[in-house]
Structure 1
Amino acid sequence: MSTNSPFYEVYNQKLSKEQKEFDGTLGAISLMIFSHFIPFYFTLSLRYNSGGLYYPSSFNEFIENVQETCSPTWSACYLYMGFFLIQLILAAILPGPEVKGLPVPTENNRQYTYKCNALTSWYLTLICISVCHFTGIFRMTILADQSDSILCVAVIFSDILSIYSHLYALKTNQTCRMTHSPIYDFFMGIWLNPRIRILGQDVDLKMIAEVRLSWLLLFLLIISAALKQYEIFHTITWPMIFILTAQILYINACMKGEECIPVTWDIFYEKWRWMLIYWNLAGVPFVYAFQAYYILVNSLRTQKPNENISMTFIIILFIVLIFAYYIWDSSPSQKIRFRMQQQGIYITRNGFPQVPWNEIKNPKYLKTECGSPLLIDGYWKYCRKPAYTADICMATCWALSCHQWFGVLPYFYPIFFFFMIIHRYTRDMTRCQAKYGKDWATYCKRVPYAFIPGVI
């Protein structure tokens, strides 16, 4: 994008102003309450009704159950904070390519540099936990045993970090696009590029939280559930294998494609805020791990982990998962690589696996007045959000892996995710309309479908 064009100057002015979303302050308060309620409700449902709907007989019983189940412990604190600090140190010291982000309009088009070593951190973490578990130095099943207390620590820590970051940004005058509505600004954030100095290296908190802290902790929770099942039954069931496979594919893709993240809207525009901090450090790991723990507690309840498993259904789920994963992996790669090439910051990805058709040679695109081209090739000539559709398909597969036990809570995640992705889509469309103007209308006529070609 040419930073000298008149359109770019107008767009910069639009980006410097904050428009209230989520119905403003009332919506922010509601979402914060809801976000705290959900993981604890899931925890109580697993403890007291094997993942079924949890109905306390009285308010006093509810309080007693919360105190018994969701209390922080020093052991849980050491586990969670140890994980957090280790990942921060690895982000600072491990080797990895350095990638420039997009020019930041609110900071005089400054381009930050990001050290992309998540893949190295991921592999090193896998090696270390394998060695520690199988030598008995540190049994990974401790996470499954103490997951309730770790959740409580994660929630407390994420809330404290959110408050501290907000006050620090105010004190140091590192604020951006404030509405001066205190609760809403806390919810949506005021600090765009939070960085801390560790061992002489700058570590971007927003990027490390979004790319690795959330997904690595999720993986550790799921592998702990699988190992716990094996410890008890000397087998890992196919539903658990499916969940483990699905999450490894998802998490590995996030790690191997970290160098693509700096040019995304999440890093370029979204602020370091309560919603991002809480969901990355507490919400995502524990809510997204629910299916694995649902399978674990129900196999313990019945003492028949392989009962009523339809292998035909499991095979179908694997086929759908692999197909959806392929689209989810390759379609963003096409677009982000195209964007990086346009910015002159493209680097070759080396992470495994490199799926076919993840890059388009000589791609077709629409030129725009603002100077930022719109890709109309590859997946992107068929619909505007192919990765969103694939993401929803994968989320649905995760829920369906729990089919051998009747329950509604495993389907919370795909339903929640569907509405979240629709909201994100509307935000994207509003932003693109503001950025591209009449060129966006031309693009929408050229690519009329949002999610599924020929359907919607």
Structure 2
Amino acid sequence: MTAKSKTTVIDGKTQRLNPKTTDLDFFGIPGATFITLTLPLFILFLQIGCTPESCTVAGVLNIDWSAEMTKLRAMPLFDINVFGVYLTWFFSLAACDLILPGPVAEGVVLRDGKTRLKYNLNGKTVMTTLAVILAARWVQTGGAMPELVFCYDHYVQIATSAIVWSFIVATYVYVASFTHDCILSVGGNSGNPIFDWFIGRELNPRIGSFDIKYFCEMRPGLLLWAVLNLAMAHHEYITKGFVSLPMALVVLMEIYYVVEGNWEEYGAIHMMDITTDGFGFMLAFGDLAWVPFVYTVQARYLSTRTIEYPLWYAGIIVTLFATGYYIFRASNNEKNAFKHGDAPHLRYIENDKGNKLIVSGWWGAARHVNYLGDWLISWAWCLATGYESIFPYFFVAYFGVLLVHREMRDDHKCALKYKELWVQYKKAVPSAIIPGIY
């Protein structure tokens, strides 16, 4: 029996397990094609365009595009040896993910009404192993750290390698989805190969117990982001003899974000990316290329110049970061506690199917108040770069658009899932992200 012919019982009715996708996200095939073609080029523009001359307001407005194109043509964007190093990084982490111990947790019940995938949550041991290796190499090389020098010197080639690999991974999981019975994503079963390849046809592509989507979401891209930030700080250290306050703030805040996310990774198996979205080019590219090479813009910008500002300004940045993180973590912890029945003080509304939605506490303030915390964190990262250039502030604008779009997608999916209960919930909690404003 093929995956298409299977049925399941949902809300007491027999329905197809893998219904045909008729509502195409991202404006359908034109949007998917546009994103696929332009975002890789945008990543390369960010990396190549951020030079001491162009990473300023005046530099961007007065850039010599002829000279920049000449430099671009002379730069080897792809290097097979660098690609080999990148694959070594990827598969070494995959081996760690399979070998290193960690608590095993079950994910949400899938659409067939019975399957709960198991996840090995070994982020703590993976990160500890990586930290020990880096510390040992620091001692062994006397701080020279050729690995970090390599990352800095071949930054663009590593970015290209990640982009190429995301295309390969997306193609593999798309083809593999036709070779076995599987639960397809609701949004990626349109029958159009371009769109389904882009959005992700299979919901949870796996090789044995190895979950490709979860691994890509939590390990290679996020940890590479941290390593690349260390490479930027190391470059400043070996060229100037010190790590500046702005660089230290950016690197410490962003590495904390990565470490804390992997440390508290149980919440990740309940995110929309894992529970709802298929795994195709959109997520593969976002996880493997976009995160490590767009989220390092602030550190890369600081590595090309010397920025100074007073301690009181640094204090504002740290306070903003701490506030955002408190909102983000406290709201997510509250939701997790509610799911486990550990938050009896919270008020909620419920329908006859047993679905419950919180209408007090953090989630009574806004339907995605955790996104507000995330956005404040991104402001702290950008403000830490000073105020000489708009270049690194692109990130906070992009992140705001991303969060609003995610909220809109989630609102649509919840309206379909909860129906009248969702209508009641939106009346009880009218704000989407920012309480009383939006």
Q: Which residue of 2 aligns with 1:189?
A: 200
1:34 lines up with 2:34 in the alignment? no
Which residue number corresponds to residue 388 of structure 1?
371
Match of 1:244 among 224, 247, 251: 251
Which deviates more, 275-284 or 360-369? 360-369
- Does the 8 Å CA contact 2:18/2:183 hold for their aligned counterparts? no
RMSD of aligned residue pairs (Cα, Å): 2.3
Q: Partner letter of residue 95 of structure 1?
A: P
Q: Deviations over 1:389-416 (max 9, x none)?
A: 1111111221121224x22221111111
The answer to whether the 8 Å contact 1:7/1:369 transfers is no
Q: Is the 8 A contact 1:253 1:329 kept in 2?
A: no
Matches within 5 A, 1:44-443: 44-47=48-51, 49-52=53-56, 53=60, 55-58=63-66, 64-105=70-111, 107-136=112-141, 138-172=146-180, 174=182, 176=184, 177=186, 178-197=189-208, 202-298=209-305, 305=306, 308-339=308-339, 341=340, 360-404=343-387, 406-443=388-425
Kept after mapping to 2: 8 A contact 1:133/1:140: no
User: Residue 363 of structure 1: CA displacement?
Assistant: 3.1
Equivalent-residue separation in structure 2 for 1:285 and 1:98 (angstroms): 27
Q: Aligned-pair distance for 1:362?
A: 4.4
- Structure 1 residues 284-309: Cα deviation after superposition (integer angstroms, max 9, x where no partner): 100110110100012xxxxxx3x542
Cα distance between partner residues in 2 of 1:223 and 1:110: 40
* Cα distance change, pair 133–8 in 1 and its aligned pair in 2 (3 A): farther
| Contact 1:381/1:447, CA 8 A, preserved across alignment | yes
* TM-aligned CA distance change 1:14 to 1:450, over 3 Å: farther
Pick from 1, 5, 11: which aligns with 1:7?
A: 11
Q: How has the CA–CA distance of structure 1 residues 260 and 237 changed in structure 2, closer, same or farther, with 3 Å as cutoff? A: same
Structure 1 residue 14: Cα displacement? 9.5
Gaps of 5+ in 2: 1-7
Q: Counterpart of 1:335 in structure 2: which amino acid?
A: K
TM-score computed with the length of structure 1 as normaliser: 0.86
Q: Which residue of structure 1 lines up, in the alignment, with residue 28 of structure 2?
A: 24
For residue 253 of structure 1, report the CA deviation from its aligned partner. 1.9
- Per the TM alignment, residue 50 of structure 1 is displaced from its structure 2 partner at its CA by 4.5
| Equivalent-residue separation in structure 2 for 1:146 and 1:211 (angstroms) | 23
Q: Which runs of 5+ in 1 are unaligned?
A: 299-304, 343-358
Q: 1:102 to 1:8 in 2, by over 3 A?
A: farther
Q: Alpha carbons of 1:236 and 1:434: their partners in 2 closer, same or farther (altered >3 Å)?
A: same
Cα shift at 1:138: 4.8
* Residues 263 and 336 in structure 1, CA contact (< 8 A), matched pair in contact too: no
Q: Report the CA distance between 1:274 and its aligned residue.
A: 0.2
Is the CA contact 1:369–1:439 (under 8 Å) kept in the aligned structure 2? no
CA contact (8 A) 1:385 1:450 kept: yes
Cα distance between partner residues in 2 of 1:190 and 1:260? 24
> Structure 1 residues 292, 431: CA separation in 2 closer, same or farther (over 3 Å shift)?
same
Distance 2:428 2:12 in 1: 23
In the aligned structure 2, how far is the partner of 1:175 from the partner of 1:373? 25
Measured against aligned partners, the alpha-carbon deviations of 1:170-229 in whole angstroms (never above 9, x if no partner) come to: 2445462410122111111111111124xxxx2111111111222101000001111111
Name the CA distance, whole Å, in 2 between partners of 1:361 and 1:144: 51
d(CA) in 1 for partners of 2:18 and 2:396?
Answer: 31
SS at match of 1:370: coil
The 1:13–1:384 alpha-carbon spacing in structure 2 relative to 1, beyond 3 Å, is: farther
Deviation at 1:79, TM superposition (A): 2.6
How far 1:324 moved relative to its partner? 0.7
Measure, in 2, the Cα distance between the counterparts of 1:78 and 1:47: 27
| Structure 1 residue matching 2:207: 3-state secondary structure | strand
Partners of 2:308 and 2:408 in 1: CA distance: 41
Name the aligned partner's letter for residue 16 of structure 1.
P
Query: What SS does structure 1 have at the residue aligned with 2:389?
Result: coil
Distance 1:401 1:330, change over 3 A: same
- Over residues 49-93 of structure 1, what are the superposed CA-to-partner deviations in whole Å (9 max), with x where a residue is unaligned? 3534384534xx555433433522244223311211111011101
- TM-score for the superposition, normalised by structure 2: 0.89
SS across alignment from 2:385: coil
Displacement of 1:140 after TM fit? 2.1
Structure 2 equivalent of residue 353 of structure 1: none
Q: Secondary structure at the match of 1:193?
A: coil
Q: Give the Cα–Cα distance (whole angstroms) in 2 for the partners of residues 64 and 8 of structure 1.
A: 64
Give the letter aligned to residue 42 of structure 1.
Answer: L
**Structure 1, 173-182 or 259-268: larger mean CA deviation:** 173-182
Looking at structure 1, the residues matched to 283 and 11 of structure 2 have their Cα atoms a distance apart, in angstroms, of 30
Contact map agreement 2:378 2:395 (CA 8 A) in 1? yes
Given that 1:368 and 1:374 are in contact with CA atoms closer than 8 Å, whether structure 2 keeps it comes out as: no
SS at match of 2:65: coil
2:251 and 2:243 mapped to 1: Cα distance? Answer: 10
Higher mean alpha-carbon deviation, 155-164 vs 165-174, is at: 165-174
Q: Secondary structure at the match of 1:428?
A: helix
Cα distance per residue 1:319-345 (max 9 Å; x no partner): 111111111112112113322x16xxx
Count of aligned positions: 420
Relative to structure 2, which stretch is displaced further, 71-80 or 187-196? 71-80
